[in-house]
Structure 1
Amino acid sequence: MSELRHRLRTTFRWLGDRTDPDFRADVTGWWRDADILGGMGAALSRLFPDEEPTVVMGTQSRGSLLGVLCAQHLGVGFAEVRKNPGCAADSDAWWQVTTAPDYRDEHLELGVRRNLLRSGDTVLFVDDWAATGAQATASRTLVQMSGAKWCGAAVVVDGLESSAVRRDLNLRSLLHVRDL
């Protein structure tokens, strides 16, 4: 795990100057490194050793990438949370929710197809970064709407300023933003 954390730190970079309004994180180096990709599913899964998820959930796009790696490691399925979902037909049933403001102070519409989450499922949420916790919190609401159980949120980077949100989501991470 310490080797993976080291590789995550060395392949990460900040873009821009901290005083620049476009200052942001660049995690694309993670996707280029086969060793990181090979270890990410297991590392995120190990953040919840006492849980037995029956499905992994993640928001498009990075949460979907990481969520599939985690689900594959756990031997369970994956439920993608779509941003601004649109029904393909009247029979295309979704649970939908609006997020609280995210790190860009925007509200997003998130949705998951109803056939992907079932009452009795235990859901592990996976994403690359938690800044405000808005998407994870909205995803937990989707889990509750389905009757499934939320076991927690596994993220690569914890950038939450609120320890109350961290506790409420049962959020665990591989790195904290101050490590970067």
Structure 2
Amino acid sequence: MTDTLQIKDHIRQVPDFPKPGILFYDISTLLAHGAAWRATVDRMADIVGKMRPDKLIGIESRGFLVTAPVAYRLGCGFVMVRKKGKLPGSVIPHNYELEYGTDTVEIQSDAVKPRDRVVVLDDLLATGGTMRAAIELLRKVGAEVLGAAFVIELDFLGGRNRLDVPVSSIVHYDH
């Protein structure tokens, strides 16, 4: 069940969601299929484990679903990067530009120590804006960002070209 095409078979494509003209790649069907989800987590753990991270960083919110089981499997810490106002306690913010404005991501101030070796995970790489912001935030707190890993990559949007770390993805869509 580790074949990429079999994993891809469990990702539902939903047209016109969340708005007309958008094709949404839904991992809820992948999560619901035990064997396919296990193969996905195993594959991600194989990819990420080779980088020998101290901690895995998940991006809100579907990125948490991917990162938590991979961190468990590798015996790594799991840290969340969230939108502004979602984390309790002292946080470190990072503002970034979007195609249509600005946004902010945050991390808890004690979650990552200087020189921690981290890999950032998310479910999908599209344009790369949020991942890029997360990487910049992690560098701001002194982490060594080893790479980024995704379940799905939309190759036609060129998101990996906006990232200055090694990028790994399991499933690719070229249109």
TM-score range relative to shorter protein: 0.7 to 0.9
Which portions of structure 1, spanning 4 or more consecutive aligned residues, are displaced by more than 6 angstroms? none
What count of residue pairs does the alignment treat as equivalent? 171
C-alpha spacing 1:24/1:93, structure 2 compared with 1 (3 Å): same
Matched with 2:53 is 53
1:82 aligns with 2:82: yes
Amino acid at match of 1:12: I
- Three-state SS of the structure 1 residue aligned to 2:71 is helix
Match of 1:131 among 109, 126, 130: 126
Residue 96 (structure 2) aligns with:
99
Conserved? CA contact 1:58–1:127, under 8 Å: yes
List alignment gaps of at least 5 residues for structure 2: none
Report which of the two has the higher share of strand: 2
RMSD: 2.3
Determine if contact 1:156/1:174 at 8 Å carries over to the other structure: yes
Deviations 1:147-168 (A, max 9, x none): 11000001011124335325x1
SS of corresponding position for 2:110:
helix
2:4 matched to 1:9?
A: no
SS for the counterpart of 1:111 is strand
CA contact (8 A) 2:7 2:40 kept: no
Separation in structure 1 between the aligned mates of residue 7 and residue 83 of structure 2, nearest angstrom: 26
TM-score (norm: length of structure 2): 0.85
Match of 1:175 in 2: 171
Structure 1 gap ranges (5+): none
Tell me which amino acid in the other structure corresponds to 1:172. Answer: S
Q: Distance in 2 between matches of 1:87 and 1:2?
A: 35
Maintained 8 Å contact 1:85/1:109: no
- TM-superposed deviation, 1:62: 0.8
One-letter amino acid matched to 1:143: L
Q: CA deviation at 1:30?
A: 0.9
Q: Which has the larger helix fraction?
A: 1
Check the 8 A contact 2:87/2:107 in 1, yes or no: no
Q: Which amino acid aligns with 2:94?
A: V
Normalising by structure 1, what TM-score?
A: 0.83
Matched residue, 1:113: 108
